[in-house]
Amino acid sequence: MFKTRLFKFTLMTILAVFLLAACGGKEKETSGEKGKDALQQMKDRGKIIIGVKNDTRLFGLKNPSTGEVEGFDIDIARQLAKEILGDENKVEFKEVTSKTRIPLLNNGDIDAVVATMTITDERKKEVDFTDVYFEAGQSLLVKKGSKIKSIKDLKKGTKVLAVKGSTSTINIREKAPETQVLEFENYAEAFTALKTKQGDALTTDDAILYGMADEDPSYELVGGTFTEEPYGIAVKKGNKTLVDALNKALKNIKDSGKYDEIHDKWIKQ
């Protein structure tokens, strides 16, 4: 009696283990398939959905008079659509912020992020990146005549403004631990906060800060850069075929001279 029960129990356990193993295997296979399908899905759909900034002058800024987003990242994204889908208009732009870009990607709302996004080891745990397509570095923006001349002046009692979900907030806390960091939802809000004197400096990539100084010349960058911020295009983890297609497209854009044309159009420094 006892022996029969034990036998049944063992049999059930072995069966359960087999079933679980089979499911595990299937799951792995499915996500591999999904990765493969992402590029095909885009082709079937006839457009690529790209997450871009809407508030970052020079990279991705919504023009209120046309309703169109404009900037370096936007032009690069259009060229990617041209390379992959044969038409630079086969792209739909969705707004992302530094905080929302990874969740939107992983929810499947967007196929790729082209939005001033630094490639970091931490982010590589959540998403996959293409090769570097732009090199920036973190810096500081202050009102002209400010006592803050470099990161060394960010002592106790000073306040720095930054954006949630950006590498800038992490870096500044590490490199200027005494300063108080105030975090905002996006760059438009952070710049407004600097103008209304809620902080002594705004910190993010030099490329983004140049856009702000361009908009209001009573502000300037100080102290040079204190980090390296290589930008990459992010896609959902495991989408190897899409990463490969994007890298190929980036290479073609560079080789054809289109990249330099777009760079010179937007980046003056």
Q: Which 11-30 residues touch ligand GLU, going by CB under 6 A?
A: none
Contact call for residues 113 and 93 (beta carbons, < 8 A): no
C-alpha span between 261 and 72 (Å, rounded): 10
Question: Shortest approach of ligand GLU to residue 59 CB, angstroms?
Answer: 8
Contact call for residues 68 and 93 (beta carbons, < 8 A): no
**If we measure between CA atoms, which residue out of 152, 223, 236, 163 comes closest to residue 193?**
163
Query: Could you say which of 54, 79, 98, 179 contacts ligand GLU (CB under 6 A)?
Result: 98
Q: Measured from the CB atom, is 159 or 164 closer to ligand GLU?
A: 164
Query: Could you say which of 100, 166, 179, 239 contacts ligand GLU (CB under 6 A)?
Result: 166
- Report the DSSP beta bridge partners of residue 38: none
Question: Shortest approach of ligand GLU to residue 204 CB, angstroms?
Answer: 5
Q: Are strands 69-70 and 60-62 parallel, antiparallel or unpaired?
A: antiparallel
- Report the DSSP beta bridge partners of residue 69: 62
Q: Which 187-226 residues touch ligand GLU, going by CB under 6 A?
A: 204-205, 208
Residue 227 touches ligand GLU, criterion: CB under 6 A: no
Query: Could you say which of 118, 139, 179, 239 contacts ligand GLU (CB under 6 A)?
Result: 118
Query: Could you say which of 79, 130, 139, 167 contacts ligand GLU (CB under 6 A)?
Result: 167
C-alpha span between 236 and 102 (Å, rounded): 8
Count of residues interacting with ligand GLU (CB under 6 A): 12
Residue 55 touches ligand GLU, criterion: CB under 6 A: no
Residue 113 touches ligand GLU, criterion: CB under 6 A: no
Return the sign of the alpha-carbon dihedral for residues 116, 122, 126, 128: positive
Question: Shortest approach of ligand GLU to residue 38 CB, angstroms?
Answer: 22
Long-range contacts made by residues 1-4, C-beta under 8 angstroms, separation at least 24?
none
Q: Measured from the CB atom, is 58 or 208 closer to ligand GLU?
A: 208
Q: What is the CA radius of gyration of the chain?
A: 23
Q: Measured from the CB atom, is 42 or 202 closer to ligand GLU?
A: 202
